[in-house]
Amino acid sequence: MPPAGEARLFASRKRRRCKRSAGRLWSRLRRKQLEGFRFRHQHPLGPYIVDFFCAEAKLIVEVDGGQHADDGEARTRWLEARGYRIVRLWNNDVLANTEGVLGKILDALRADPPP
C-alpha cells in the first residue's frame, strides 16, 4: 500500500490499468448516468483505493477478481467502521449481467445509509 501522499498518483496509474469489467461498469456509472448519482473511479479512502465510490450515499462498489483477498477483512472492517457501505461484485457478473449488476447497485443506493 503506498503512503498517503502517493495515493492519488497510485490511483491514477491504477485507473489506466482498469480491467475490462471495471471499464464496462465505469462506462455506466460515470457522468451521473445512474439516476443522477455521482461516482468516482479508483478513489483513495484512507490507506485504501476503492474501485467506485459514491460520496452522497457513502457507497463503495468493488469489482473483485480476488485482488482484495489479501487484506479483505481488515479493509472491510476499516471502511465499515467509518460508515461506508460496500457492494462487492464479481468480474464475471459485471461482464455477463451488467443490467443486473446496475440494479443491485441501485438497490444499495436507494437503501437507507447505516447510522
Where does 1-115 have alpha helices with state H?
A: 7-16, 20-29, 72-81, 91-96, 98-110
Provide the β-strand partners of residue 52. Answer: 41, 61
According to the model, what pLDDT value does residue 113 have? Answer: 67
According to the model, what pLDDT value does residue 69 have? Answer: 53
According to the model, what pLDDT value does residue 17 have? Answer: 45
Q: For the whole model, what pTM was predicted?
A: 0.80
CA nearest to 39, candidates 49, 30, 50, 48: 30
- Distance (Å, whole) CA 98 – CA 107: 14
All structural domains of the chain = 4-110 (3.40.960.10)
pLDDT tens for the chain, 115 residues long, are 556 567 777 666 555 445 788 999 999 999 999 999 999 999 999 999 999 999 999 999 999 865 555 567 899 999 999 999 999 999 889 999 999 999 999 999 999 765 5
